[in-house]
Structure 1
Amino acid sequence: MLGWGIVLIGRAVLSEEHRELDALAKRILVEIAGDGPSVELSSLRWRLNRVLTKHLALEDQLLYPILRANPVTASLAEQVLKEVGGTAATYTAYHAAWPIERIQEDWEAFRAATRDVMTLLRRRILREERDLFPRASWPGADGR
């Protein structure tokens, strides 16, 4: 059992946020294929920042400590954290490094940095959904 704190979040909420984040990442990747920044890109970046910062805080501060304390999920949680646990710090640095003025000045470098961050985000989502979440025992999942 994960713990009472996760009841407040729930796997369904985390998975829904994963779907939203993945969709935003895909749309951002489409936008950066263009010749320069667009209004849509700014909107997508704002939405990603809003959803991702809240989501990562929930996972990193509440979910992962519980998963790491559970003998069933501890080893896998540690492995996932080693692979993609720096997502929040990486994203925060990326977001701070790329204000709109800099994006306009160095579009190619922004595109490369964005591809790297979106790849990291999508890899974390995949690992959690495919490998980690199915091994956790979620409160309410068994009908109780």
Structure 2
Amino acid sequence: MMDIAELRRQHDEISLIAAQLGEAVSDESAPRQVARLRWQLARLLMTHLALEDRLLYPATVHSSDDDTRKTAAALQQEMGDLAARFSSYMTAWSDDRILREWSAFCTQTRAMLTALADRVDSENRILYPLLIRAAADNPRRKAS
């Protein structure tokens, strides 16, 4: 099983950058420098989502705990396309377009940050505790 403490640490780091980006787009009347924050968030998020979507969620299929399997499957179905949505968001918004369409960018950014916050919250509150409990019930599969 993956290191849950490390995944939570990554969530904290992602949430911090997301909060800074959210603050930057809170005023739709004045375009701000957001490129550094966007790319910093993209780097952290895409690495983290790749770990979860390619390793963590598929590994839950093998959990001996029925509740863990069902919950992980439901969360993955509900939020599994976040990486693709974020990638599309990054591609759609060039620096020039952000300046030209600042208000629309702010609206889309806030929606993306809400989806991200929802996923982080669900994993921290629901999935990770289940994985820790399942690992405790099955000592051969370790989560921390």
TM-score of the pair, normalised by structure 1: 0.86
Partner of 1:11: 4
CA gap 1:36/1:100 in 2 versus in 1, 3 angstroms: farther
Instruction: Tell me how far 1:68 sits from its aligned partner.
Output: 2.7
CA gap 1:140/1:69 in 2 versus in 1, 3 angstroms: closer
CA distance in 2, matches of 1:66, 1:140: 12
User: Does structure 1 retain, via aligned residues, the 8 Å contact 2:4–2:143?
Assistant: no
Question: Deviation per CA, 1:118-143, whole angstroms, max 9, x where unpaired?
Answer: 001000000000000001126164xx
Partner of 2:74: 79
Residue 104 (structure 1) aligned with residue 107 (structure 2): no
CA distance in 2, matches of 1:66, 1:113: 32
CA distance in 2, matches of 1:140, 1:133: 9
Instruction: Tell me how far 1:27 sits from its aligned partner.
Output: 1.1
Number of aligned pairs?
133
TM-score of the pair, normalised by structure 2: 0.86
Alignment equivalent of 1:115, drawn from 110, 113, 133? 110
| Counterpart residue type for residue 81 of structure 1 | Q
5+ residue gaps, structure 1: none
Identical counterparts, % of pairs: 34
Highest RCO, 1 vs 2 (Cα 8 Å, sep ≥ 6): 1
Partner of 2:86: 91
Instruction: Tell me how far 1:46 sits from its aligned partner.
Output: 1.4
Instruction: Tell me how far 1:24 sits from its aligned partner.
Output: 1.2
Question: Deviation per CA, 1:69-113, whole angstroms, max 9, x where unpaired?
Answer: 324211001111122111101101101000111101111111111
CA distance in 2, matches of 1:15, 1:125: 9
| Counterpart residue type for residue 23 of structure 1 | L
CA distance in 2, matches of 1:90, 1:99: 16
Partner of 1:133: 128
Question: Deviation per CA, 1:21-77, whole angstroms, max 9, x where unpaired?
Answer: 1111111111001333323x2211111011011101011001000013324211001
Residue 43 (structure 1) aligned with residue 36 (structure 2): yes
Cα RMSD (Å) of the superposition?
1.4
Alignment equivalent of 2:22, drawn from 29, 40, 43? 29
* Worse overlay, 121-130 or 73-82: 73-82
